[in-house]
A and B are shown apart, each in its own frame.
Chain A
Amino acid sequence: MKGAIMIKRLLLASLLALSASTCTDQRSHSKAVYMLIDTSGTYAQEVGKAQRIINYLLGTLESGDSLAVARVKTRSFSEKDIIAKATFDSRPSQANAQKRAFRDKIDAFVKTVGGSAYTDITGGLIQGGMWLNETGAGTKTILIFSDMQEELDKVTIRDFPINLKNIRVVALNVVKLKTDNIDPRRYMGRLEAWQKRVEQAGASEWILINDIERLDSMLKS
């Protein structure tokens, strides 16, 4: 009789342990990545590379993680510029289905992408920061796939302090422009200016990755 009671108690304990899953923390251990793709001018040709990075991200991110891909164009501070976004389901099978749908959206975007006249990186950063904060993820990253040459039209105002607190900002595939080749100081100066701006915005880290292979180790850290 006591043995049966013991079995019942054990089963009850195991059920309690299983039900405790509802009380656990989901947010702080998840990752959120917001990727900005520059589609201005000649940089729009690099979108194939961006697609490979997105596919890599889809293969790397796990259940509970979030991913959004947005384009950088004349004015980028808008939800409409988000091409695809998803917070992957905690069930791996559902997460796989979401990833497939995400990939299809990106494929469609890559086929129809067109160049924009101006490049509003700051607007994209503000939008990305807001989206990442909404996800409540433990690790927040903005990937900027751009040459980091911001060009704004006359009416667009972006010369004000922005907030990127606790967000890691990674500049990817920052190609050298023709003018950079003439005077490399322009390239260095551009990167330094962005680093300063991002750090002033409260970003946890500023990383420059031109070799895509290094992205793997960066995302794992």
Chain B
Amino acid sequence: MTSNQFWMIWPGNPMASALILFFIAMPLLYAARKLAHDLFRSIGHVIGGPLRLGARWLFLTAKEMKERNKAVLLAHGREEVGQHIEREFERIGAMVTRDLEGYPALQRKLLEEITRVEEDYKKCGEVPPPPPEWVEAVTAISKVKSEGNEMVQRILEEIKRSVESIHAKALAEYRRAYESRHKILNGFMPFWRSLDKTFGQVDKKLTGLQDTSSKIDAQMEKYEQINKKTDKAEHALTVSAFTQFAIATLVLLIATGGAVVNFRLIAVPFSEMVGAGDYITSSLRMSDVAALVIIFLETTMGLFVMETLRITHLFPVISNMNERMRRRMFWAALTFLVVFAGIEAALALMRDMIVADKEALRQSLAASQAVAPDPLLRMIPTTAQMVLGFFLPFALAFVAVPLESFIYSLRTVGGALVVMLVRVTGFVLRILGNIVRYFFKVLTVTYDLTIALPLLIERLVKVARSGADDEARESRPVKRAA
């Protein structure tokens, strides 16, 4: 008999053996029914209870975290919008100072021009020619009857000649007057143009002011929404943080590419300086670490330059410095950056020399005829490497801007992800708790199923007993009555 057949009452027939064992065990199982039910219930509570408790705690924690995240997000948003409004007010202030400061002068100029135009207009008003007094005289003379009187005829002819000459004179005078008026009107043109231009300027400035005011209105509305802690404001800020996070991550990845190029430029010359045979781990050379340290230092200096220029606000200590100290720090960081850039340019040249030497050795070892490169072709990559080596540290300095966005948006994005993770964990725990609970319920029912036969007997006995009791109860009043 093998060790796994020891339980077989009927050797070689596991089915029959199992059945026999089952029937033997059935009374015992029936006897232990209540205990077994209690045990299953207890185990279900022991395992399922903490799981459900843990799930509830996690949901509560997630809720608290969400509230905290919301508070942080709104505070950050409030600060950001506040800064934005502040900047817009500064812009308006500058605009008002720049444009409206000269407004009295502009107004004076406008009034002067208007007065001048008015005066000129008055000057060019049409003056009707004075009524000729001689018309009445001519009318009276024309009534004189000449009747062939020669003297009268002569007088009339004389009068006609005089009238014609006077008429010509008056006409010439009239035309001259009109000519001078036209000249005055022509002289209006520059004033009109100037007036038009001045009014255009005023209009443009006022429109700009209006635009900025409407921007401030929009920001103020946003600010109010944030102050009221509305869901709309929270949603808008969250979306904005996610967008910022994505953009900052992308830019940081590009910057990492730049840092890798930078590293490639200086890693080889660093092996010349600190040795290529020293290792920190199995694959990490000391020279590589030194090159990385230099790149990190350059980035840090760039960060300080950006901080001292108040482009970024990662270090409150720097932004709270007094103006003099801040300027000193700016120059110090910039000097370090320039020195590092110079060192990198030199290292890039050194790298080119080392690589060329190694290549020459390889060619000599391979016994192949080395072709002398064109000096110009050789000079271009060398110069390019040096220029890259010099400018890459400055380019890396701008990493501070996306880094700041990344750090600030990381709080929101990370917070949202942690809340989601906590909720998912809570959900899983809750499901597990329920599974355990229902599993032990199923186990209880299954237990009863295995002892279905004794339970059936029990029920029959109970029914029989209750029938006998009923009969006894029914017979008692009869006896009493009897």
B-binding residues in A (CB < 8 A): 1-4, 7, 10-11, 14, 17-18, 20-21, 24-26, 28-30, 55-56, 58-59, 62-64, 90-93, 95-96, 99-100, 103
Contact = CB atoms under 8 A, between A and B. Distances in A.
Given A7-B304, A18-B290, A93-B357, A26 B333 contact: no
5 nearest A-B pairs in the assembled complex, by CB-CB distance: A64-B277, A90-B275, A63-B276, A21-B286, A55-B365
A92 B354 CA distance: 7
B361 A21 contact: no
A129 B363 CA distance: 32
B43 to A, nearest CB: 55
Secondary structure at chain A's binding surface: helix, strand, loop or mixed? helix
Given A63-B276, A90-B276, A92-B357, 10 more contacts: A3-B318, A3-B329, A7-B336, A18-B290, A18-B293, A24-B280, A26-B278, A62-B277, A64-B275, A100-B361
A1 to B, nearest CB: 7
Nearest to A1: B325
Interface string B292-324: 011011001100100010000001011001000
Contacts of A11: 297
B230 to A, nearest CB: 39
B277 A30 contact: yes
B271 interface: yes
Nearest to A94: B272
A88 to B, nearest CB: 8
Contacts of B481: none
B315 A29 contact: no
A11 B366 CA distance: 44
Contacts of A26: 275, 277-279
B455 interface: no
A95 B354 CA distance: 11
A127 B318 CA distance: 66
B282 A29 contact: yes
Contact of B290 (A7, A17, A103): A17
B432 interface: no
Nearest to A62: B276
Contacts of B286: 20-21, 24
B476 interface: no
A219 B366 CA distance: 18
Nearest to B294: A14
B365 A59 contact: yes
B277 A103 contact: no
Contact of A17 (B276, B289, B366, B367): B289
B259 interface: no
A20 B275 CA distance: 12
Contacts of A10: 297, 300
A9 B118 CA distance: 76
A25 B279 contact: yes
B232 interface: no
A80 B174 CA distance: 133
A59 B361 contact: yes
Nearest to A103: B365
Contacts of B325: 1
B428 interface: no
A17 B336 contact: no
A143 to B, nearest CB: 17
B227 interface: no
B436 to A, nearest CB: 52
Given A4-B332, A7-B336, A17-B289, A91 B276 contact: yes
A4 B329 contact: yes
B109 interface: no
Contacts of B308: 3
Contacts of A30: 277
Contact of A93 (B272, B294, B367): B272
B306 to A, nearest CB: 13
Contacts of A55: 365-367
Contacts of B366: 55, 59
Nearest to B329: A3
A93 B275 CA distance: 11
A7 B308 CA distance: 13
Contacts of A21: 274-275, 278, 286-287, 290
Given A3-B304, A55-B365, A18 B274 contact: yes
